[in-house]
A and B are shown apart, each in its own frame.
Chain A
Amino acid sequence: MYEFIAFYIFAISTVILFLITVLSKNVLYAMTSLAAGMVMISGFFFLLGADFLGVVQLIVYVGAVMALYAFAMMFFDTTKDVKEKYNNPKLVFLLGGLMAVVFVIIFSAPIIGENIQVASPITDGVGNAQAVGIVLFTKYLVPFEVAAIMLLVAMVAGIILAGKKMDKSLTTTVLPLVDKESEDEILKKESR
């Protein structure tokens, strides 16, 4: 009974919050409602018995990704409303609805399908975090390490792209000592 109530509360609130994310004209409203919707989605993971996934969702998405978005917003002008020109709104709604149908068919196909075998069953007697750890460090060890390298590459890329003057080598070139104004002029010239 409580599961039903929780599910419907989470479902209705995620749908409404994500609709605000998609339809809002203000960047800050969109970002806040996206963060709130992700908190609600972690509720589904707790309902489904995937405790560790729910905690990871809270820490990584709501903590890290949303903080990154909020940080990046300092670079953009977010006070103005976003002006967008729509060419064909009916087509968009039609394609979105069709996509939903296709998605439901794809994911409900295994229910109709026969002899599906469980690849890595949930271990009895241990909690969700232990069970996840056992599977992650035995069967999925190589993808785990590849994901680690991918995150490292992404971190380096983020630093290189967002940092100032990072396209030049800092060790081989000797940067001349310049005052603030001429430094700004150099930056302006480079951006042109």
Chain B
Amino acid sequence: MIGISHYLILSGLLFSIGFMGVLRRKNLLMLFFATEVMLNAVNIAFAAIGNYYGDLSGQMFAFFIIAVAASEVAVGLGLLIVLYKKYHTLDLDIISTMRG
């Protein structure tokens, strides 16, 4: 058996990879990819902890996270298409209108 710590360390590693992506990406589509990485990392942690305690709640939360991610992608891509029609680019430096 592989201990829970292995799974948690891996999950933290993947989450930090996704977080690094969120911080450094300037293209909106790539930003979406990075958020998907973070959501998947949390799913691994939920499944591992649920397995550790013999509890099904962890898997339930992972299911709801998947549902939230699916709807987030549907709405987000619609918004991206509207933005691209308006600005003809997805670069955050060009799209951002607030100065500060």
Contact = CB atoms under 8 A, between A and B. Distances in A.
Report the interface size class on chain A. 35 or more
Given A89-B24, A158-B75, A161-B78, A118 B53 contact: yes
A27 B34 CA distance: 12
Report the interface size class on chain B. 35 or more
Contact of B16 (A96, A143, A160, A161): A96
Contacts of B62: 50, 53
Interface string B4-39: 111111111111111111011111011011101100
A108 B10 CA distance: 13
B70 A60 contact: yes
Interface of B: 1-2, 4-21, 23-27, 29-30, 32-34, 36-37, 40, 43-45, 47-51, 53-57, 59-60, 62-64, 66-75, 77-82, 84-86, 90-91, 93
21 contacts: A14-B10, A15-B13, A27-B30, A50-B50, A61-B66, A65-B36, A69-B33, A82-B26, A82-B30, A85-B26, A100-B12, A103-B12, A119-B57, A135-B56, A147-B64, A154-B72, A157-B74, A158-B75, A159-B78, A162-B78, A162-B82
